Structure 1
């Protein structure tokens, strides 16, 4: 993971739930593009699996170099914010078989998500990313609050109360908010696959957490 706050937070979150032996923990420069030294170090450690957090361009370069080193298919790669609908367009087959954990997937079976994905593909000719789904949910949540106060945007308390009710159909399915305003929601293990038509996409393998609460809710002074 990159050597900055988010990178360390992601590794800490992984270690909180992974109880087997960790043979190595490596932090790289933020924005780094060449990972040959780290990949050589990884190969020498001979792990059974690898966990990474490399969002954006860092992830694209890491995935390409990981595959070029011959590790794809040999050492399973598990990630967050790394193997997604955006990086798939750039790395293509280099991401096949790799894993990602998150709260949304284009193949989630609920009415709102199926309509969103179908309409998006029809309009833009490609599968939406989870960033898009997240933005769509945000807009629909705000819309539900505006409707609840009948358009009176000065009624801030009313809007906040309405948003707490999560009175809209989310692409991630039903969820609710914890006392610290973080969602209580499901998380899924996804895998990069190729569908019969040749499109690369993320596909749910199993549910990792049901109704997961973030680990810091009890420490947060905000109680609604």
Structure 2
């Protein structure tokens, strides 16, 4: 009887140790910017497929929630993931304003959170948390790369335009941090605005040498198309970050050609792991991957290394968090590691949108490593080690 009980206990322990890794996926999957959340999920699912549905050798299960780009919806959805579904990890977190609304709940648990799009400045700084990681970038950084590039090129007068939300404000703050010329116009539009004709007329009248714009998701398609329709494409170069992305590139068509993009990754990145990812993504989904898909793919590859490091014991959240912090994996970006605030330290390059070999818009590398091993401006405000 004792031997039978002991055998049952050992079997139960082994079963518990190999319990499924339960991933809560929380992102914007409906509304005008649903393409961003779709790209996040497709990046996650592709990585899991390539890993045979496992993280660190343990079967992974995904529970998906749509935050509808509404903070109150996101709070309730996160409650379901944590309290009812008992997930081990939360991945996703699309928009900065939604991410900010979740900070109290994130602080109340030790479950690791992996954001693959939003990177608000406050989370990188004073509100940093040991269990909260961002795989993409701090929101300022891609714009910082464009600002430095334009300054290096001697561009003297620039106008900026972005939606009026924390992500947009971070982008402009980053751009201004490294751009040394004159900001002629600094225009903010409502986050749900789809008619930019008045603002584009204002920009045109100011006659800047270049325009920096940031519009995520479906807003980006509308903005870039209207930029061309307003006659600006032939007059004033468009510089941007995180606007000309994924399937939106095909929707923009010729309106995107000639635009200059700054980021830590685009489909034009030359390293081998990026090429493999782009090929696999296009084969699986029939479209160009966005950086949001790439960062989400990286998140799963990083978690594969972290879960393997803890030997599948994801119930030990603190050990898992420590393994995430130090995880080594083959990023599509090449150089990647987490800084003290759990935000990336990585390289940033400049690309131009050009016709590719089949006549469609693609990304050509203009200048590699405008920033090398670049962190963010807020890390010193974070009290993590």
TM-score range, shorter chain: over 0.9
1:79 counterpart residue number: 240
Contact 1:53 1:82 in 2 (8 A): yes
Unaligned 5+ segments in structure 1 are none
Any idea what SS the aligned residue of 1:196 has? coil
Residue 168 of structure 2 is aligned to residue 7 of structure 1 = yes
C-alpha distance in structure 2 between counterparts of 1:130 and 1:27, whole Å:
24
C-alpha distance in structure 2 between counterparts of 1:74 and 1:34, whole Å:
20
> Cα offset for 1:182?
0.7
Q: Paired residues, what number?
A: 223
1:45 counterpart residue number: 206
C-alpha distance in structure 1 between counterparts of 2:372 and 2:207, whole Å:
32
Root-mean-square deviation (Å)? 1.4
Name the stretch that deviates more: 132-141 or 109-118: 109-118
Residue 373 of structure 2 is aligned to residue 211 of structure 1 = yes
C-alpha distance in structure 2 between counterparts of 1:27 and 1:21, whole Å:
17
1:144 counterpart residue number: 305
Q: What TM-score, normalized by structure 1, do the two folds share?
A: 0.94
Residue 361 of structure 2 is aligned to residue 188 of structure 1 = no
C-alpha distance in structure 2 between counterparts of 1:162 and 1:111, whole Å:
25
C-alpha distance in structure 2 between counterparts of 1:85 and 1:18, whole Å:
27
Alpha-carbon displacement from aligned partner over 1:58-90 (angstroms, at most 9, x marks no partner):
221111111011111320111122112232121
Larger Rg, first or second structure (1 or 2): 2
Residue 381 of structure 2 is aligned to residue 222 of structure 1 = no
Candidates 123, 129, 152, aligned match of 2:284: 123
> Cα offset for 1:209?
0.9
Moved over 3 A (4+): none
1:68 counterpart residue number: 229
> Cα offset for 1:216?
0.2
Contact 1:113 1:172 in 2 (8 A): yes
2:335 counterpart residue number: 174
Name the stretch that deviates more: 30-39 or 83-92: 83-92
Using CA pairs below 8 Å that are at least 6 residues apart, which structure has the higher relative contact order? 2
Structure with greater strand percent: 2
Any idea what SS the aligned residue of 1:55 has? coil
C-alpha distance in structure 2 between counterparts of 1:125 and 1:59, whole Å:
20
Candidates 346, 353, 358, aligned match of 1:197: 358
Name the stretch that deviates more: 148-157 or 183-192: 148-157
Unaligned 5+ segments in structure 2 are 1-161
Name the stretch that deviates more: 9-18 or 150-159: 150-159
Any idea what SS the aligned residue of 1:152 has? coil
Alpha-carbon displacement from aligned partner over 1:73-122 (angstroms, at most 9, x marks no partner):
32011112211223212111111001221111222222321211122222
Contact 2:220 2:244 in 1 (8 A): yes
